[in-house]
């Protein structure tokens, strides 16, 4: 029963970011580069909490839009701009979803989106990237650097797309996600740190 009640409270905290399916996904990329593959992309989160026992819960956001520019010949020029719609939070519980949309958490009426836009990307020796950008949640913007892994897909021996993956943490309290959830009148202890999971799938953009 505890497990059934908690996810909602945790979902809002992922801001993650967060980072992490829109009605329409837009991609703005130069000729021969990569375009956003919306159906294969995802934004999710994991949060830890405790009351009588410790537990972890996962959740996701179902609606986001964005653009991605990636040139295999110049990976340091990679640029990402993502907007996540907070009202699309999904904890598989309608009552909890409404709570997370309230002013105690995401306040979707006043802050309908979360946003991440990259400012610079560094290609590392191990083949991963270090991406620095601005994360905005509930009107609070923080500059942060996140790790990015790139995987290439191929069909018939020819490269057909790429998958950009990132898992990082945010401190929910820095973005004003400070609601105090309760279960049967008892406060639930929620970790300040939230793990954000982002997977951005791409396909090779058609020449113009």
* Model confidence pLDDT, tens digit, residues 71-114: 777 888 888 899 999 999 997 878 777 877 888 788 999 999 99
Other C-beta atoms closer than 10 Å to the C-beta of 92 total 13
- Residues in the chain predicted with pLDDT less than 50, given as ranges, are 1-32, 155-158
pTM of the predicted model as reported, rounded to 2 decimal places? 0.75
How far is Cα 114 from Cα 144, in angstroms, rounded to an integer?
Answer: 14
Note the pLDDT of residue 14: 40
How far is Cα 71 from Cα 115, in angstroms, rounded to an integer?
Answer: 23
Domain 2-204 belongs to what architecture? Beta Barrel (2.40)
Domain boundary assignment for the chain: 2-204
The residue among 188, 146, 186, 190 whose CA lies nearest residue 172 is 190
């Amino acid at each position: 029963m505890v497990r059934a009640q908690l996810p909602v409270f945790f979902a809002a905290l992922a801001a993650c970011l967060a980072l992490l399916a829109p009605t329409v996904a837009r991609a703005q990329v130069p000729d021969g580069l990569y375009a956003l593959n919306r159906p294969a992309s995802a934004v999710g989160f994991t949060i830890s909490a405790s009351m009588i026992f410790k537990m972890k819960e996962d959740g996701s956001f179902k609606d986001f839009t964005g653009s991605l520019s990636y040139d295999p010949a110049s990976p340091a020029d990679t640029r990402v701009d993502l907007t996540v719609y907070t009202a699309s939070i999904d904890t598989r519980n309608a009552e909890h979803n409404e709570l997370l949309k309230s002013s105690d958490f995401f306040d979707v009426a006043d802050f309908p989106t979360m946003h991440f836009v990259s400012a610079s990307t560094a290609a590392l020796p191990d083949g991963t990237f270090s991406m620095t950008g601005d994360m905005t949640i509930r009107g609070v913007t923080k500059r942060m650097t996140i790790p990015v892994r790139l995987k290439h897909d191929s069909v018939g021996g020819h490269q057909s797309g790429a998958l950009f993956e990132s898992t990082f943490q945010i401190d929910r309290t820095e973005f004003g996600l400070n609601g105090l959830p309760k279960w049967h009148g008892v406060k639930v202890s929620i970790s300040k740190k939230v793990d954000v999971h982002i997977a951005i799938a791409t396909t090779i953009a058609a020449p113009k």
